């Protein structure tokens, strides 16, 4: 089955620790995205990548880092610099990034809780 796999589903972290969330897709999509979802705030874009070895900051990139070494993979690291890391993180992909290609395919999400 084609889709997006995120892991882990739940993660607990102590303050001051970096954590990395995994995102893998087998849809052969060029573009991949990371969103953060908080109650009452909708989805906010953290980073996106249109092609391997290239990525751009979204609206709330501070305290996060990403890499795109392979087309299938787009891991997100939540660093200790992120002041409010407790959230639901969603990875998504799309066929392209031009207008009219906005159908995003989402993973099941990773819930990060900072203790």
Residue count of the chain, please give it: 115
CA distance 21 to 43: 17
Shortest CB 16 distance to another protein, Å: 27
Shortest CB 102 distance to another protein, Å: 4
- Cα torsion angle, 30, 59, 114, 111, sign: negative
* Cβ nearer to another protein, comparing 99 with 115: 99
CA distance 53 to 106: 21
> What is the pattern of x (binds another protein, CB under 8 A) and - over residues 41-70?
xxx-x--x----------------------
Element housing 114 (H / E): strand 110-114
Choice from 40, 54, 83, 115 touching another protein (CB under 8 A): 40
Instruction: Give the binding site for another protein (CB under 8 A).
Output: 4, 6, 31, 40-43, 45, 48, 90, 92, 94, 96-109, 111
């Amino acid at each position: 089955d084609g889709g997006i796999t995120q892991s882990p589903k739940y993660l607990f972290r102590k303050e001051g620790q970096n954590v990395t969330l995994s995102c893998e897709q087998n849809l052969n999509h060029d573009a991949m995205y990371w969103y953060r979802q908080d109650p009452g705030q909708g989805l906010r874009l953290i980073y996106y990548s249109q092609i391997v070895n290239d990525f751009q900051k979204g609206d709330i990139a501070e305290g996060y880092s990403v890499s795109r070494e392979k087309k299938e993979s787009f891991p997100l690291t939540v660093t200790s610099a992120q002041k409010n890391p407790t959230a639901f993180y969603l990875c998504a992909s799309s066929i392209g990034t031009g207008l009219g290609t906005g159908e995003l395919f989402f993973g099941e999400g990773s819930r990060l809780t900072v203790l």
